[in-house]
Amino acid sequence: MNTLMIYGALGYTGRMVAHNAKAAGLDVVIAGRDEARLAELALELDVPFRVFSLEGDLSPGHFEGIHTVLNCAGPFVRTANPLMQACLEQGMHYLDITAEIGTYQLAESLSAAASEAGVMLMPGVGWDVVPTDSLAMQVVERVKDPISLRIALKVAGGMSRGSAVSASEIVSAGILARVDGDLVPRPDAPSALFDFGDGLVDCFPLSFGDLITAWHSTGVRNIAMYVHVAGDGFPEGDLSLLPDGPTAEQRDAHGAAAVVEVTSGDGTVTRAVIETVNGYSYTPLAAVEAARRVLAGDVRPGFQTPARVFGHGFAETIEGTTVTHLP
């Protein structure tokens, strides 16, 4: 019963996750809707595969012998709920790699049911939200009286076709912020300046999963999210015409970074920067490491965040990650 199912293994990131999981020696089953392509990948990896759609009722037989499901199939607004429900019914743990805030809200709403079922729901074991979740906990622990938290992401190097579709879901959620513990609309929130290490740059507000995870991981009651887009980070036009995703060379040329700023009751601001390999290179590594730990029994039932379960140093276990704490 220590088998990992990777649903959405044929996608740009899902395929890298599957390759990494196999290389890490995990007991893997890949799954999705396209039988011919799944069979080809399964042969390449020498793993079993299962073919099923997430529309309609899911058969318990689809999940026989599965310990943990790692969902790599976006947009997650369509895939997270049926797979979470299946996990609750079959006693499996749920992981995914989404940045869509709605998926975190869904997992949060199912937390009590998951606790009762002994199931862990942990969305966001990729670049969003592993680095920022870890960093937020680290910075907050340095502050005596934290009253507000700001997180900014730097996006560069182009998006996969799937991520572009998910990004449209994030944008459609509108601008939210956490104010006195509640998520509230902030449609007129202004942009802000952040320094990722090369001087101040303009960042615009956007609603990522950290508005949920940072609240649970740190307890800070006021949280705002921002993003800085460099180059063609957020594509426009017909998304179906996009390539599968950045090439290996493009990923190597564009690292990723995030900034966390925590303000204390006396107005002091404490900052830190986390730098990683490209998000598309980071996600398969972090997701597989999270899955490995869950398969080994590192589990807490209910809705959880990576840093709460695996510790605030989890992000730095991924090669190529550095944290700089600033005065």
Statement to judge: residues 176 and 121 lie in one domain: no
pLDDT at 301: 98
pLDDT at 56: 83
Statement to judge: residues 192 and 320 lie in one domain: yes
CATH of the domain at 299: 3.40.50.720
Phi, psi of 102 (to 5 degrees): -60, -30
- Assess whether pLDDT exceeds 90 at residue 73: yes
DSSP β-bridge partners for residue 217:
none
pLDDT at 229: 86
Q: Which residues contact 20 (CB under 8 A, 6 or more apart)?
A: 284, 285, 287, 288
CATH of the domain at 215: 3.30.360.10
| For range 16-40, the mean pLDDT | 97
- Could you report the per-residue pLDDT of 158-217, keeping only the tens digit for each? 666 566 566 666 677 789 999 999 999 999 999 999 999 989 999 999 999 999 999 999
Statement to judge: residues 185 and 320 lie in one domain: yes
Q: Cis ω on the peptide bond leading into residue 75 (within 30° of 0)? A: yes
> What is the β-pairing status of strands 269-276 and 192-195?
unpaired
- pLDDT band (50, 70, 90) for residue 16: very high
Q: Are 125 and 97 in contact (CB under 8 A)?
A: yes
> Average per-residue pLDDT in the chain?
93
Quote the number of domains for the chain. 2
Statement to judge: residues 17 and 41 lie in one domain: yes
- Could you report the per-residue pLDDT of 231-248, keeping only the tens digit for each? 655 555 565 656 678 888
Q: Which residue range(s) make up the domain with 163?
A: 130-279+314-326
Surface-to-core class of residue 57, CB atoms within 10 Å of its CB (0-12 exposed, 13-18 middle, 19+ buried): exposed
CA atoms within 13 A on the CB side of 295: 22
Statement to judge: residues 275 and 134 lie in one domain: yes
